[in-house]
Amino acid sequence: MSQIYDRVALIGLGLIASSMFWAMKRKGLAGEVTGFARSSDTRDIAREIGLCDRVCDSITEAVEGADLVVLCVPVGVMGAVAAEIAGALKPGATVTDVGSVKGDVIAQVAPHLPDKVHFVPGHPLAGTEHSGPRSGFAELFDNRWCLLVPVAGTDPQATARLRTLWEGLGSYVDEMDAEHHDLVLAVTSHAPHLIAYTMVGVADDLGRVTDSEVIQYSAAGFRDFTRIAASDPTMWRDVFLSNKDATLEILGRFTEELFALQRAIRQGDGDHLHAYFTRTRAIRRGIIEAGQDTDAPNFGRGGERHK
């Protein structure tokens, strides 16, 4: 695949940005890639491992002249970062983001962007529990979905070009509106993460089961929860605070179902449990058939991290 953007700026140099960089380099999708992260430690690591063609010490220097600017920072700071870069953006440039929530990010970012800049929010549905500049790898987005959420009035050509980039990064691409995105993700990602955090917290509180037993016998389901519950605390705090309504809606339904299962167990209602588990098994099969996970119980995560 040939070059899609002459100049790309990555703002924030963690898991997603570093994976995008290695994946862009794999296929030669960008001419020059500049990068900026808040701390000098992260910028030093990026320089040491060759993450970005040019690591800049100022955020405005990183975005100057860029055709595509990708905001790869936690959801809670997207607006502040957009305000910082607004004056340095090239007319005709596209700004996108990779945030896990879309409605709130659009509300934060859009008001800061100049008229001559295209805004095409995005969200790659790919990740690991690792974070930081060393955690990325080129294959992260392979065969995963990336959702684009163009705002009203967006130039379709800007969206189409970004779609081509994500396809080049290895993803399938779909478009949907922000409200729907946030509900879908509350079901498929945000509520499950909260449940995993809770389950690991419960095990931690349970004094009668020792820590060593929890660790030693964790393969029976708990291990996958611990992997999810090891995800970045800043990122997930911001996700819940900014996707509040959809997450609370799904958690309300979850609680009702949990009570129903609790009652079935208490009343010895095996038919209810069996019917429920038969239905959920079919969903698992559907995910495997759609190529979105393997049979191994590792949530499809893995891959080589960059040393």
Question: Which stretch of DSSP H or E encloses residue 278?
Answer: helix 270-289
- Interface mask (CB under 6 A) for ligand NAP, residues 73-102, using x and -? xxx-x--xx----------------xxx--
Give how far the C-alpha of residue 181 lies from the chain's centroid of Cα atoms, to the nearest Å. Answer: 12
Nearer to ligand NAP, 9 or 17 (CB): 17
Nearer to ligand NAP, 19 or 94 (CB): 19
Q: For residue 135, which phi and psi values (nearest 5 degrees)?
A: -85, -10
- Interface mask (CB under 6 A) for ligand NAP, residues 16-55, using x and -? xx-------------------xxx--x-------------
As a whole number of angstroms, the distance between CA 109 and CA 15 comes to 21
Nearer to ligand NAP, 151 or 230 (CB): 230
Strands in 12-103 per DSSP E: 30-36, 54-55, 68-71, 94-97
Helices 244-267 and 233-242: angle between axes, nearest 10 degrees: 100
- Whether 81 contacts 60, CB under 8 Å: no
Nearer to ligand NAP, 116 or 237 (CB): 237
Q: List residues bridging with 97 in a β-sheet.
A: 71
Residues 244-283 that bind ligand NAP (CB under 6 A): none
Alpha-carbon radius of gyration of the chain: 21
Q: How far is the CB of 12 from ligand NAP (least distance, A)?
A: 3
The correct pick among 134, 196, 232, 246 for binding ligand NAP (CB under 6 A) is 232
Q: Which residues bind ligand NAP (CB under 6 A)?
A: 12-17, 37-39, 42, 72-75, 77, 80-81, 98-100, 123-124, 127, 131-132, 232, 235, 239
